[in-house]
Copies of this chain bind each other. A is one copy, B any other.
């Protein structure tokens, strides 16, 4: 195998150089039929297991289960579960059902059970566990060769055991690991039966018989290449490994390496968002770990500047209080404790021994029975302090990092304030029309929220557990997000193809101890409207206390007059507004007809007088939040509740308010401020009204001048925040040329040469 590995590395280097020069023509000459390789060449007994877990791992694990500690506990719990499994009959039914149905769930359970029993065999060396896996595989070997395509198959991604090929690939990723655990216990006949009856046929089905998926640079392709490549390692079939890495034609146009090149941005951001990122991550890290074991000289984890480690870290960081940011189609209860990320974090820890990851593993609260899992268990037992550094970051989007970015702004601790400012690309079919939207989190909870996906996963009564119709009619629409809607029409007119071709431009991102600041714009969401948004998470000292404030400046420009709506979806109970509202008390009607507006009941409307319009709500975390906007006297505020045109009660009845104005140019300037505390248990309420006393905005050349004052013990403390909108190049030139930006505020003149200036004017 070593000679092969070197060959592969050379091949890979070749492919790389080719890729750089853009020449791919030679690939056809390497075309090989994997089907021709089905004659079994058994892997040697001495090299198993050697995928995610190797022989050395097994030796240390066998020692660890004899010592007290969390690894031993995890082993014993798992052993009890597997033992109970062994008392039940092996069931390998003829595939009939779609997702959620009996045969589907049965085959899903089977691969997990084979994996668990196989690992138990490695740990205990008791034959009964190996026999269980063997017997199940023999059943599969009997069933599979005669199977037609699945009766409930989905077009373009067909399966045999499952309705879609994706599940078939996942099945093989687990099953090949289980086989790797027990292969050394089998005689030649058994091996031959299993390898030719089920393992190679599934690998062949996933690759040669499914070229469209296998060669695709997409996470479905990653599952297929991982399954086939790992099968190649275990069965000692270098051809399978090579096609997995380079595609069926070994062209490098598809395959695992190309997937590594393209599916993540240089920062490890996956453009469908963290919900799909954690799912896509599993075949990547699993196959990479297997490559690392079998072809360490490939240094797969260093590939593309450690792209896989970056992807793992970024998945961890795209979360707040353990739950993933619900970007695009995302089910909101998914968080960092998902199996995929437990495995990925263990593998990253095995590679790096980075103590920060121990904090994450503790929160995941699950010990894996692998070599890396043991290392983490030992680190957890050692109980060294570990705090994962959740900090402000810009995650560039696009394979070249040039398709916008997701900007995460954070204060000190993981449950302090966090802003997600989404200036990313569309994110393909699961993307939402939510350019320049934002979310806000504080004290552990969502405050300004994103609906996520409209879906009840696997609940048959809710559209068969698939995406609900309201995912399209509401959740994907622009008005379902905290960003600008023009003329009650979603971004890109709701056309995902147009969305995929366009993305916002991030104008700047800046982070230091005082604040995080970013600005982005998009000119393509609407034909004739330019939108730019600048956001800042700031903490100012008032009465010696850190006072967090969120600044939000949305600028809209068009040559034509339009209706501009800026919705804000808040979590909590409305407490008050500093302007009169006309409530709909006897009748509710929908706010609009389409683009999501048909789902909003209009509960109240208002036209606040020129000045500062404030809306205060109380979140379940016991804190108050006040949103203060500069209004011109011609801006309406519409209070809505979700739930109109929802005959099946599919939607959560959440609350929003929408600032609405009709004009060519408009600037929405707002501050969001956490304040006070509601503690009915201890019977006190503190500071239930906003502390923001004034807010002003003025544009002076390249500068935004935001003045604000905050109530303090001495009366009021005034600040000015000057933001420099120059391009990065111009800004750099300032310093080089010794030029400064000047601005005047309250009769005084100030100058600076950096991105921003934040000054306390008065006590």
Binding site for B on A (CB under 8 A): 100, 331, 333-335, 337-339, 456-462, 465, 573-576, 581, 583, 585-590, 601, 603-604, 616, 618, 639, 641, 643-649, 652-653, 678, 680-685, 688-689
A sample of 11 more A-B contacts (CB under 8 A), given A458-B684, A459-B575, A587-B589, is A333-B680, A338-B681, A456-B575, A456-B678, A458-B685, A459-B685, A461-B688, A465-B685, A583-B647, A586-B645, A604-B649
Docked CA distance A300–B100 (Å): 64
Docked CA distance A461–B583 (Å): 17
Contact check, B616 vs A641: say whether CB atoms are below 8 A apart.
no
Contact check, A586 vs B589: say whether CB atoms are below 8 A apart.
yes
Task: Select one of B333, B335, B616, B644 contacting A586, CB under 8 A.
Answer: B644
Task: Select one of B100, B573, B604, B641 contacting A685, CB under 8 A.
Answer: B100
Docked CA distance A603–B645 (Å): 10
Cβ of A678: which chain B residues have Cβ within 8 Å of it?
Answer: 456-457, 459
Docked CA distance A643–B586 (Å): 10
Q: List 25 A-B contacts (CB under 8 A).
A: A100-B685, A333-B680, A339-B682, A456-B678, A457-B678, A457-B680, A458-B683, A458-B684, A458-B688, A459-B685, A460-B688, A460-B689, A461-B616, A465-B685, A573-B649, A574-B649, A583-B649, A585-B644, A585-B645, A586-B590, A586-B644, A604-B647, A641-B643, A641-B653, A653-B653
Indicate whether A461 sits within 8 Å of B689 (C-beta atoms), given known contacts A586-B590, A588-B587.
Answer: yes
Cβ of A590: which chain B residues have Cβ within 8 Å of it?
Answer: 586
Docked CA distance A378–B680 (Å): 30
- In angstroms, how far is the closest chain B Cβ from the Cβ of A116? 15
3 nearest A-B residue pairs (beta carbon) = A458-B685, A461-B576, A588-B588
Contact check, B685 vs A457: say whether CB atoms are below 8 A apart.
yes
Contact check, B647 vs A585: say whether CB atoms are below 8 A apart.
yes
Cβ of A100: which chain B residues have Cβ within 8 Å of it?
Answer: 685
Which among A100, A461, A574, A648 has the highest number of chain B CB atoms within 10 Å? A461
Docked CA distance A644–B585 (Å): 5
Q: Which residue in chain B gives the minimum CB-CB distance to A681?
A: B333
Indicate whether A680 sits within 8 Å of B331 (C-beta atoms), given known contacts A575-B456, A589-B587, A590-B586.
Answer: yes
Docked CA distance A618–B455 (Å): 13
Cβ of A618: which chain B residues have Cβ within 8 Å of it?
Answer: 456, 459
Docked CA distance A367–B264 (Å): 52
- In angstroms, how far is the closest chain B Cβ from the Cβ of A582? 9
Contact check, B646 vs A585: say whether CB atoms are below 8 A apart.
yes
Docked CA distance A618–B331 (Å): 15
Q: Which residue in chain B gives the minimum CB-CB distance to A647?
A: B583
Docked CA distance A683–B574 (Å): 34
Which among A459, A604, A684 has the highest number of chain B CB atoms within 10 Å? A459
Indicate whether A337 sits within 8 Å of B681 (C-beta atoms), given known contacts A586-B645, A689-B461.
Answer: yes
Docked CA distance A603–B456 (Å): 21
Cβ of A575: which chain B residues have Cβ within 8 Å of it?
Answer: 456, 459, 461-462
- In angstroms, how far is the closest chain B Cβ from the Cβ of A472? 17
Docked CA distance A586–B334 (Å): 33
Cβ of A331: which chain B residues have Cβ within 8 Å of it?
Answer: 680
Docked CA distance A458–B681 (Å): 12
Cβ of A333: which chain B residues have Cβ within 8 Å of it?
Answer: 680-681
Q: Which residue in chain B gives the minimum CB-CB distance to A683?
A: B457
Cβ of A604: which chain B residues have Cβ within 8 Å of it?
Answer: 647, 649
Cβ of A339: which chain B residues have Cβ within 8 Å of it?
Answer: 682
Docked CA distance A649–B585 (Å): 10
Q: Which residue in chain B gives the minimum CB-CB distance to A339?
A: B682
Docked CA distance A589–B587 (Å): 5
- In angstroms, how far is the closest chain B Cβ from the Cβ of A339? 7
Docked CA distance A601–B641 (Å): 13
Contact check, A587 vs B587: say whether CB atoms are below 8 A apart.
yes
Cβ of A649: which chain B residues have Cβ within 8 Å of it?
Answer: 573-574, 583, 603-604, 639
- In angstroms, how far is the closest chain B Cβ from the Cβ of A50? 29
Contact check, B334 vs A681: say whether CB atoms are below 8 A apart.
yes
Cβ of A643: which chain B residues have Cβ within 8 Å of it?
Answer: 603, 641
Docked CA distance A335–B681 (Å): 7
Docked CA distance A568–B697 (Å): 51
Which among A588, A643, A678 has the highest number of chain B CB atoms within 10 Å? A588
Cβ of A647: which chain B residues have Cβ within 8 Å of it?
Answer: 581, 583, 585, 604
Which among A585, A604, A639 has the highest number of chain B CB atoms within 10 Å? A585
Cβ of A337: which chain B residues have Cβ within 8 Å of it?
Answer: 681
- In angstroms, how far is the closest chain B Cβ from the Cβ of A97? 14
- In angstroms, how far is the closest chain B Cβ from the Cβ of A618? 7
- In angstroms, how far is the closest chain B Cβ from the Cβ of A412? 22
Docked CA distance A689–B644 (Å): 26
Q: Which residue in chain B gives the minimum CB-CB distance to A617?
A: B649
Docked CA distance A338–B574 (Å): 26
Cβ of A465: which chain B residues have Cβ within 8 Å of it?
Answer: 685
